Chain A
Amino acid sequence: MRIHELTKQYDGKTVVDAVSFSIPKGKVISLIGPNGAGKSTVMGMISRLIAHDSGLVEFEGKDIGKWKSKELSKRLAILTQSNNIQMKLTVRELVSFGRFPYSGNRITPEDSAIIDRAIAYMELEAFQDRFIDELSGGQRQRAMIAMVIAQDTEYVLLDEPTNNLDIYHATNMMKIVRRLCDELGKTVILVLHEINYAAFYSDYICAFKNGSVAKFGTVEEVITKENLSDIYQVDFEILNIAGKPLSIYY
């Protein structure tokens, strides 16, 4: 996937300005940056939820706008934070929706097997017949991930998956992200606020500042004292823990 000169304006104000970078396959890529830096907007444009004004999102050699929506949904899954589902849905029913691009409303035996595996992978067997509005935030998040797994896409885009989760659930979430990449071979792109989660769990980091890419590279290249101080305008210290550059700010 390649992003080329992507630009977005809201009411004449440029929020994303000629952003270009390439997304390596089979890796975890985190988009970080201060509020209003444009990372979520870029994410929205990559996932076709937000229309871009100019530039190009090239997905497997083809402009993302030229893909058939249905075909794209078999290759690219998006999970946003706005999950206000009004319907009475059980966990299993929610996960079943992941098969919609393939089978529509009719679930085949093959789909059932995939759904079973997705539920087992997220350790949701005990909850599968519970309604999702009866679940805790962490469980619901896992159910959503199970749906994405059932969707069986090569690319998974997560918009702030650790938002509103406590450190236990947020850390578990990041471990799941790592497993999606290492065990299932997916390319995971996520927007994160916590720099240390990004540093510890991703392979590449794309740091945004004022609507442009300030730095894109491996974790070690991006997470340095100078880079972070420049991007966030705060003093940073970098510690090396478990071989990863973790930061503290004050």
Chain B
Amino acid sequence: MNLTAVRSNRNKLMLLAVLVLLCAAAYLLVEVNLDSPKLFAYAMKIRTPKLIAMLITAFAIGGASLVFQSVINNTIVTPCLLGMNSLYTLIHTAVVFFLGSGSIVATHANLSFAVDVLLMGIAATIIYSWIFQKTNHNVLYVLLVGTVLTSFFGSIQTTLTRVMDPNEYDTLLSTLVASFSNINSEIILLSVVLLGAIVWFLRKDLALLDVLTLGKAQAINLGVDYDRCIRRLLLGVTLCIAVATAMVGPISFLGLIIANLSRQLLKTYRHSQLVLGSALFGMLVLVGGQLIVEHVYTYAVPVSVFITVGGGLYFLYLLLTRKKV
């Protein structure tokens, strides 16, 4: 890439970052009574964790979706197509089901999250590396198996909740249907630590992403240990999705939208820029969306509805305008 393109992309990213900052500031300060310190402190106490949770979610989903697309070598897939969201929901339900809602694992938010993420990491590594090996990295088969698994996990989860004690189910529900108005803010610190650890742990693999998109044969030709790298990156993707799902519940189209917006805006192969763009777009969509939901629609329409409707339309647009899928 020539230098002017790199610089113009840097400017675009800066602009995005400024927009995110403006949105974040607006989210914190709109309609806050600045005269009374007590009211101000109260508003901050409510809004800050929500804002942080949204930023974390955006980073996790944006990064994970973009990495996932590059690993699969297809730009209209998202990790939820492989059933990662449903797997997380299933694991969370299963933990409560088998240990009971009164157990220490279920009542302690951070412990419950840690156990879920651990199980998710193990289960996903086994399931997904098996799928990839079995299908020889054939995207179509992987997606097909993934779609089947999504409903499979979903059915098991439904079955578990149906045979569950109604009281247990009631407690489960409050943590299960996390959403943007009911953000699971207790696990923020743990999530940040976890995401930081993932990025640090995978820094070498992330640097290989540019080469991975040349395809398996070329990546191996250029000296990449392909299978190991893919395995590690997929584990990272899974954990990021687990964090996001635990924090705000499943949002299917977000990853697709922001990863593709980033690709469209930056038109580059450089993943350092693409991932950043994707995360920033995610923050913009989530914080901006929530801002509108809270102050224009006064909570009448949840932000996930906008994302799903907008995402659906954008998905159709991508399908129709692309020559090749």
What is A's interface to B at a CB cutoff of 8 Å? Answer: 47-49, 68-74, 77-80, 82-90, 92-93, 97-98, 100-101, 104-105, 129, 151
Q: Digit string of B56-89 for contact with A (CB within 8 Å is 1, else 0)?
A: 0000000000000000011100000000000000
Pair B2/A78 contact, Cβ less than 8 Å: no
A105 in contact with B207 given A86-B73, A86-B75, A97-B214 (CB within 8 Å): yes
Answer whether residue B144 sits at the interface, using C-beta atoms and an 8 A cutoff: no
Sample of 25 A–B contacts (CB below 8 Å): A47-B221, A49-B217, A69-B220, A69-B225, A72-B223, A73-B221, A73-B222, A78-B220, A83-B218, A84-B73, A85-B213, A85-B214, A85-B215, A86-B73, A86-B74, A86-B213, A87-B214, A88-B267, A97-B218, A97-B222, A98-B222, A100-B211, A100-B222, A101-B222, A104-B207
B221 — which chain A residues lie within 8 A by C-beta? 47, 73, 77-79, 151
Besides A48-B220, A84-B215, 12 new A-B residue pairs in contact (Cβ under 8 A), listed by A number: A69-B220, A69-B223, A69-B224, A70-B223, A73-B221, A77-B221, A78-B220, A78-B221, A89-B269, A93-B1, A97-B222, A151-B222
A87 in contact with B269 given A48-B220, A105-B210 (CB within 8 Å): yes
Pair A129/B2 contact, Cβ less than 8 Å: yes
Closest to A48 in B: B220
Pair B215/A82 contact, Cβ less than 8 Å: yes
B75 — which chain A residues lie within 8 A by C-beta? 86
Answer whether residue B125 sits at the interface, using C-beta atoms and an 8 A cutoff: no
The complex places the Cα of A92 from the Cα of B223 at a distance, in Å, of: 20
What is B's interface to A at a CB cutoff of 8 Å? Answer: 1-2, 73-75, 207, 210-211, 213-218, 220-225, 267-269
Q: What's the least CB distance linking B37 to chain A, in Å?
A: 50
Interface of B is mostly: loop
The complex places the Cα of A77 from the Cα of B211 at a distance, in Å, of: 15
Q: What's the least CB distance linking B259 to chain A, in Å?
A: 13
A82 in contact with B217 given A72-B223, A90-B1 (CB within 8 Å): yes
B215 — which chain A residues lie within 8 A by C-beta? 82-85
Closest to B220 in A: A49
A90 — which chain B residues lie within 8 A by C-beta? 1
Closest to B274 in A: A87
B1 — which chain A residues lie within 8 A by C-beta? 90, 93
Closest to A83 in B: B215
The complex places the Cα of A80 from the Cα of B214 at a distance, in Å, of: 12
A71 — which chain B residues lie within 8 A by C-beta? 223
A80 — which chain B residues lie within 8 A by C-beta? 217-218
Pair A100/B268 contact, Cβ less than 8 Å: no
Pair A93/B220 contact, Cβ less than 8 Å: no
Q: What's the least CB distance linking A104 to chain B, in Å?
A: 7
Closest to A77 in B: B221
B210 — which chain A residues lie within 8 A by C-beta? 97, 105
